[in-house]
Structure 1
């Protein structure tokens, strides 16, 4: 019986700081244009979250999240370029790099480290 090959763990990922996302959707548009995704599809999506607070106030948060279609712009990163979403992020709240290096930079509670499935 042949041994099952274990999927190689990804080496690179994205560090996203939700505190600074302004909801400009530049990452989402850049991904759609780079990969020619049809409307409604893409490697990264921006979700708008509205939290109702006391005294008729609300808090709006934008959450950029990579989807299962994201391959970290493999064609770009092989050439030493940043993924399209990172390059075009107006708030500079996304960073691409080695997972172990990015993990050391996770110093705030609203930061997320994302890597594609291996």
Structure 2
């Protein structure tokens, strides 16, 4: 069955760990990314409060860590996500999250 990466972007803290883990796993240069963190904001909520949102987005270099998958492991970005906001499973396995959270699904 085909697996996909799901991002629960309500909990992404913008730590960039997914980017770094991917770069190290695949030997990418500093300006090359298999997954890239997009920043949305800052949006002003009140006079003294600002909000940022972050969304990790797989790039065209992302192969969902095919070598790791072949060894029975999850993609390195999912493995190393400190916020625990990246998931990797089949559509059926991710079904519960899809209806309950603000998510982005990458096939």
Matches within 5 A, 1:1-118: 11-49=2-40, 50-115=42-107
- Return 73-82 or 40-49, whichever deviates more: 40-49
Structure 2 unpaired stretches of 5+ = none
Give the aligned CA root-mean-square deviation in angstroms: 1.6
The alpha-carbon deviation at position 108 of structure 1 amounts to 3.1
Q: Which has the greater radius of gyration?
A: 1
Give, in whole Å, the separation in 2 of the partners of 1:11 and 1:51.
37
Tell me by how many angstroms 1:54 deviates.
4.0
Q: Is the partner of 1:68 in helix, strand or coil?
A: coil
TM-score (norm 1): 0.81
Tell me how far apart the structure 2 counterparts of residues 99 and 108 of structure 1 sit (CA, whole Å): 14
Can you give the 5+ residue segments of structure 1 that lack an aligned partner in the other structure? 1-9
Distance apart, 1:109 and its partner CA: 4.3
Q: How many residues align?
A: 106
Q: Which piece of structure 1 moves more, 43-52 or 13-22? A: 43-52
C-alpha deviation, 1:101, in angstroms: 2.2
